[in-house]
Amino acid sequence: MSTLIQSIPQIQQVCGTLRRLGKRIALVPTMGSLHDGHLTLILKAKEHADEVITSVFVNPTQFGPGEDFERYPRDLDRDCSLAFAAGSDMVFAPSTAEMYPDGCQTSVDVGSIGEVLEGKSRPGHFKGVATVVAKLFHLTQPHVAVFGSKDAQQLAVLRVMVRDLNFDVGIIAAPIVREADGLALSSRNVYLSAGQRMEATTLYRSLRLAETRVGEGIRDARQVIREMTALIQERSSGIVDYISLANEDTLQEYTMLTDGDRILVSLAVRFGTTRLIDNCNIQVADR
């Protein structure tokens, strides 16, 4: 079946029935504007469940003042076509008024892990993410939920939330999908001018540089960050918001790397009014 559900009582009823029938449910939470990255999440979800639900909801509480909530691209018909073609059984696309009725005031706060990196640049962002994902989990009762690795901190934050609040939901990460030249797929790439689009490959190239330099034995995180910053600044008009080498799980930043560390290299760069993020994981080799 390919069903679009837009009401909360209906999704609760459908998912309650699926649960009673013993079906395994996978949720793929998205803000719509689906691209090939999202479609790999749906394919991944199908491996783990009988029924795949793709949620499409541009969540206002994870956007800060002055961010791109208003202009964020929306096209539900196109999203439904793509999601169903990729194998999603349902699309759940609730209205903002039903998700956040007047007086709605409860939030889920993930603490310090939501206050670094993206959380530092976007105060309140991860409180909004954690809250809406908690709501979606309660509404759809998934056994597993699949998230893209491009939002690496989101993954870390949601793993903490699931652990701390004892959600019985498995969090599955799907790899970043990239264009041929390395640019990570993002719904925000449509904002880029032709020139910015070419320059945006510096994000991926700086991540590859980090891999190379750590592989060569550099252990001073600040030196790696300096070289990444230089690459981006010299070869693009991008303004670096942050570049970070941090512990993969806790997101605590490293100054010196140690053999065996599993690190998340992440960055955010602005091109005009468009802010892009990217990341990679590096296991520091034992010598």
Q: Which of 166, 194, 234, 286 binds a second copy (CB under 8 A)?
A: 166
Segment (H or E) for 19? helix 8-20
Task: Tell me how many residues contact a second copy (CB under 8 A).
Answer: 33
Residue 190 as a binder of a second copy (CB under 8 A): the answer is no
Residue 97 as a binder of a second copy (CB under 8 A): the answer is no
**87 with 44: CB under 8 angstroms?**
no
Residue 14 as a binder of a second copy (CB under 8 A): the answer is no
Buried b vs exposed e over 248-278: b needs ≥16 C-beta within 10 Å? beebebbeebeeebebbbbbbbebeebbbbb
Encoded tokens for 218: 């550099």
Tell me the DSSP string of 28-69. EEE-S---HHHHHHHHHHHHH-SEEEEEE---GGGSPTTSST
Say how far apart CA 264 and CA 267 lie, in whole Å.
Answer: 10
Tell me the DSSP string of 205-255. HHHHHHHHHHHTT--BHHHHHHHHHHHHHHH-SPEEEEEEEEETTT-PBPS
Tell me the DSSP string of 129-162. HHHHHHHHHHHH--SEEEEETTSHHHHHHHHHHH
Residue 167 as a binder of a second copy (CB under 8 A): the answer is yes
Q: Site map for a second copy, 27-56, x if CB under 8 A?
A: ------------------------------
Q: Which of 10, 95, 96, 107 binds a second copy (CB under 8 A)?
A: 107
Instruction: Give catalytic residues, as residue numbers.
Output: 38
Residue 161 as a binder of a second copy (CB under 8 A): the answer is yes
Least distance CB 272 / a second copy (angstroms): 36
Residue 22 as a binder of a second copy (CB under 8 A): the answer is yes
Nearest to a second copy of 69, 167 (CB atom): 167
Residue 108 as a binder of a second copy (CB under 8 A): the answer is yes
Q: Which of 168, 216, 234, 286 binds a second copy (CB under 8 A)?
A: 168
Residue 255 as a binder of a second copy (CB under 8 A): the answer is no
Nearest to a second copy of 134, 192 (CB atom): 134
Where along the sequence are the contacts to a second copy (CB under 8 A)?
8, 12, 16, 19-20, 22, 103-113, 130-131, 134-135, 138-139, 141, 160-161, 163-168, 250
